[in-house]
Structure 1
Amino acid sequence: MTSETLYPINGAEICAETFGDAADPAVLLIHGGSASMLWWDSELCGKLAVRGRYVIRYDQRDTGRSTSYPVGRPPYSMRDLAADAIGLLDALGIDRAHVVGQSMSGGTALTLGVDYPSRVASVTFVSTSTGADGLPPPSLPHLERPDFDDPAAVEEYVVRSIEAESAGYFDEAAARDLVRRDMARARDYEASLTNHYAMAFDGPVNGGFADLSMPVLVVHGSVDPVFPPAHGETLRAAVPDGRLVVLEGAGHGVPPELWDVLADALSEHTASR
């Protein structure tokens, strides 16, 4: 495990951390909207590293220690976030990586796979969606946006959001610890909770899901309230020769109880590519 390092990439500072041997196949973990690298838990990263993978987690713009922008005015789009991922691979001296995109960052992973195919060995979509018409909508309770001058209220808001998304797997103490660490690292936590949803969601230039030329794995919770299971099934059907791993009882994301399931699936998916 390396220490966190800030890299100058595309006019921004991007904070990243690596696990394992740089000689092993690289796995680039990209978490979803508002989520810093901490949401890829270090224990999960370690599980992948001991399976012979060089694991990279990082703070996208407006999360963690990476560059932050005025609230509601992000000067970047999803294509820019994909370009940042390529810039990070360049900074680390990595020619090709296995890309894992969770939730919102499934769009970033798609852009990487379609627009930068020579840099992507495989793609894994975790808890995400094609965004196709007719798919079931989220089934989440309404939570009032907090007063960002009240850190306790902000903490409570994010913890309750995690609870709503987690279905049967929810550990309040662990969630609260994650949120407190996340808030402490962020340059501007209000920007973290705002700007990814205010950016332009431009898609890839060179095609869509059907144009992915590398192996594709889809990982989806069986009771995901954000993207109900039909989203995962539709995504698997949209990509050539896609494989679907259903996480039984899981909501939106991968709980600690299923980290070994994810690590095994990723280890198999990224072998001999």
Structure 2
Amino acid sequence: MTTVDVHGIALGVESFGDGDAPLVLLAGGTTMLSWPDALCERLAAGGRHVVRYDLRDSGESTTTDPEAPAYTLRDLAADAAALADLLGEGPAHLAGIGVGGMVAQVAVLDHPGAFSALTLVGTRPVAPGPPDDDLPDHDQATMGRLFTRPMPDWTDRAAVTEFAAGGAEILGDDPVAARAVAGRIWDRTPGTAAPVQMANQMGMVFSRLDCAPRWRERLPEIEVPTLVVHGRRDRFFPLGNGEAIAREIPGARLLALEEAATRMPDEALGEVSDAMLSLG
């Protein structure tokens, strides 16, 4: 892992595979560790230069004030385009997961020349907040359980990882895997202040971003091959969100993972990597 400078912002990155191979750029949601190591390794073995990166205010990227971010969703999209230009010799395959999927949608719309393919995992076509009437909202019973829990002591690594494991169990994800990833995220977080930890562990900075104007109506403008991956058991962004994206982007393929919730389970990574590699 290292950092690269993109228009005055440090972005944490990690590379896999041959640096001269076609670039697959993985936008974190919000940290790069949202993307499983095994998926990165499979893509690299398939002949790709894989780079996963941290969004601003997470991981090794520039952290300033997660409670009052002085940038917008479109700035994050511009980061992706600039990073693709810096790291590759041609248009990149851009992939975004969760809130990183929102970044990826806007990046391909605002900077179409920078990208040759698009993968969107577990995301939706509108900004944080109330969804459009035709999109399923978060499962309210699940959200009630998830967000009424007392916050952990953010200075205590064990407490934070246990909090993450409990959240994963509520969401239908693997708590053992979530605990391990949360520990790795905690180790990379620049400080134990609650806002910084919450930006890294929970992506809460995204709820404070300026995400205007809307982009959903522009999805039919996307012309690159697109894969939409979504868990059938996702209670945070239910499957109807992925189905809407796949309907509205011309030619997009929907890959619904039968046993997945918000995280891609290990047993699905081969299917996901094969589908991503098939985009070119």
- TM-score norm. by structure 1 comes to 0.88
- Please state how far the C-alpha of 1:121 moved relative to its aligned partner: 0.2
Cα distance in structure 2, aligned partners of 1:93 and 1:219 = 25
Cα distance in structure 1, aligned partners of 2:256 and 2:88 = 34
Asked whether 1:133 is paired with 2:133, we answer: yes
- Please state how far the C-alpha of 1:93 moved relative to its aligned partner: 3.9
Asked whether 1:85 is paired with 2:80, we answer: yes
- Please state how far the C-alpha of 1:254 moved relative to its aligned partner: 0.9
User: Hey, what does 1:229 align to over in structure 2?
Assistant: 239
Query: Which moved further from structure 2: 146-155 or 233-242?
Result: 146-155
Q: How does 1:52-71 map to 2 (within 5 A)?
A: 52-71=47-66
Q: Given residue 251 of structure 1, which amino acid in structure 2 is its aligned partner?
A: A
Query: Which moved further from structure 2: 138-147 or 72-81?
Result: 138-147
Asked whether 1:213 is paired with 2:223, we answer: yes
Structure 1 SS opposite 2:278 = helix
- Do the aligned residues in 2 keep the contact of 1:114 with 1:207 (CA within 8 Å)? no
Aligned residues: 262
Deviations 1:163-202 (A, max 9, x none): 333x2x51x3332121111101111424434322211113
Asked whether 1:27 is paired with 2:37, we answer: no
Instruction: Provide closer, same or farther for how the CA distance between residues 182 and 100 of structure 1 changes in structure 2, counting only shifts above 3 A.
Output: same
Asked whether 1:182 is paired with 2:185, we answer: yes
Asked whether 1:162 is paired with 2:168, we answer: yes
User: Hey, what does 1:76 align to over in structure 2?
Assistant: 71
- Please state how far the C-alpha of 1:217 moved relative to its aligned partner: 1.3
Asked whether 1:11 is paired with 2:37, we answer: no
User: Hey, what does 1:142 align to over in structure 2?
Assistant: 146
- Please state how far the C-alpha of 1:205 moved relative to its aligned partner: 7.8
- TM-score norm. by structure 2 comes to 0.86
Instruction: Provide closer, same or farther for how the CA distance between residues 17 and 203 of structure 1 changes in structure 2, counting only shifts above 3 A.
Output: farther
Query: Which moved further from structure 2: 115-124 or 142-151?
Result: 142-151
Structure 1 spans left out of the alignment, 5+ residues? none
Asked whether 1:255 is paired with 2:265, we answer: yes
Cα distance in structure 1, aligned partners of 2:252 and 2:216 = 19
Instruction: Provide closer, same or farther for how the CA distance between residues 113 and 148 of structure 1 changes in structure 2, counting only shifts above 3 A.
Output: same
Query: Which moved further from structure 2: 19-28 or 127-136?
Result: 127-136
Q: Given residue 91 of structure 2, which amino acid in structure 1 is its aligned partner?
A: R
User: Hey, what does 1:268 align to over in structure 2?
Assistant: 278
Deviations 1:90-133 (A, max 9, x none): 33244310111111122211111111111110111111112332
RMSD over aligned CA atoms reads: 2.0
User: Hey, what does 1:153 align to over in structure 2?
Assistant: 159
Cα distance in structure 1, aligned partners of 2:116 and 2:214 = 17
Cα distance in structure 2, aligned partners of 1:190 and 1:127 = 20
Structure 2 SS opposite 1:73 = coil
Instruction: Provide closer, same or farther for how the CA distance between residues 91 and 229 of structure 1 changes in structure 2, counting only shifts above 3 A.
Output: same
Cα distance in structure 1, aligned partners of 2:170 and 2:271 = 22
Query: Which moved further from structure 2: 92-101 or 150-159?
Result: 150-159
- Do the aligned residues in 1 keep the contact of 2:137 with 2:237 (CA within 8 Å)? yes
User: Hey, what does 2:129 align to over in structure 1?
Assistant: none
User: Hey, what does 1:173 align to over in structure 2?
Assistant: 176
Instruction: Provide closer, same or farther for how the CA distance between residues 201 and 105 of structure 1 changes in structure 2, counting only shifts above 3 A.
Output: same
- Please state how far the C-alpha of 1:157 moved relative to its aligned partner: 2.2
- Please state how far the C-alpha of 1:38 moved relative to its aligned partner: 1.8
Cα distance in structure 2, aligned partners of 1:182 and 1:95 = 31
